[in-house]
Amino acid sequence: QQQVKQSPQSLIVQKGGISIINCAYENTAFDYFPWYQQFPGKGPALLIAIRPDVSEKKEGRFTISFNKSAKQFSLHIMDSQPGDSATYFCAASKSGGSYIPTFGRGTSLIVHP
Amino acid sequence: NAGVMQNPRHLVRRRGQEARLRCSPMKGHSHVYWYRQLPEEGLKFMVYLQKENIIDESGMPKERFSAEFPKEGPSILRIQQVVRGDSAAYFCASSFSRGTDTEAFFGQGTRLTVV
């Protein structure tokens, strides 16, 4: 499976600030890019996802920006809250085959009150 | 509507013992995926199964690891003769149908500790 590179590994943000997590991929066949949120002791949960036919998708305070030519996508968390403190994983997968997302290494986000 | 159920939540095994991890998918889901998560690392794909079939096991170690998803009952990930390096969190996910538009729901994981 192709690697998905995620950065930063950890991120500390003040309450109300913007959290930005970046991912890059190599396989141009990928056409589905989900982000997962994982709290300690829990399984990952789908947060938001995007396809390459759009450059941005917004759901509440969470926005995915997608740059197809650069093969990069990022998660922006606006007005970050302490409850957003979790590990975030980006992933990529491709249609036409089995749904087996390839995950980035994760970003541990801490939002200080 | 219960989510993906994994048990046990925590499992301690001595080196050389066998570990059996169970995953009951969400109701109506026939696709199951197993992932391994090591500390400070992401989720590594291990195996993808449908009822009674292994679809993709490219991420599964060739030895000591096996998986099944019988017609009846939960999916089982089996690790024989465990070693300390097998200590990790093992997550199962399930989905309704094949294809990238279908969300995969994760269980809470089984944390395996080999002593």
| A48 neighbors A69 (Cβ within 8 angstroms) | no
> What residues of chain B lie within 8 A of the CB of A36, using their CB?
106
Three-state secondary structure call for residue B86: helix
- Separation CA B47–CA A59 (nearest Å): 31
Q: Which of A44, A46, A99 sits opposite B100 (nearest CB)?
A: A99
pLDDT tens for B20-67 read 999 999 998 888 999 999 877 789 999 999 988 999 999 999 999 999
CA of A10: how far to CAs of A22, A79, A85, B39, B90, in Å? 12, 18, 11, 13, 22
pLDDT tens for A83-95 read 999 999 999 887 6
pLDDT tens for A23-59 read 999 988 888 899 999 998 899 999 999 988 899 999 9
| A33 neighbors A99 (Cβ within 8 angstroms) | no
- Separation CA A97–CA B57 (nearest Å): 14
CA distance to partner chain A, nearest, from residue B89 (Å): 10
Tell me the residues of A at the B interface, defined by beta carbons under 8 Å apart.
1, 6, 9, 31-32, 34, 36, 41-46, 89, 93-95, 98-106
Smallest Cα–Cα separation from B109: which of B38, B29, B27? B38
> What residues of chain A lie within 8 A of the CB of B57, using their CB?
none
Q: Mutation test of the interface with chain B: which of A2, A98, A107, choosing the one with the most B Cβ atoms within 10 A?
A: A98
- Separation CA B21–CA B104 (nearest Å): 19
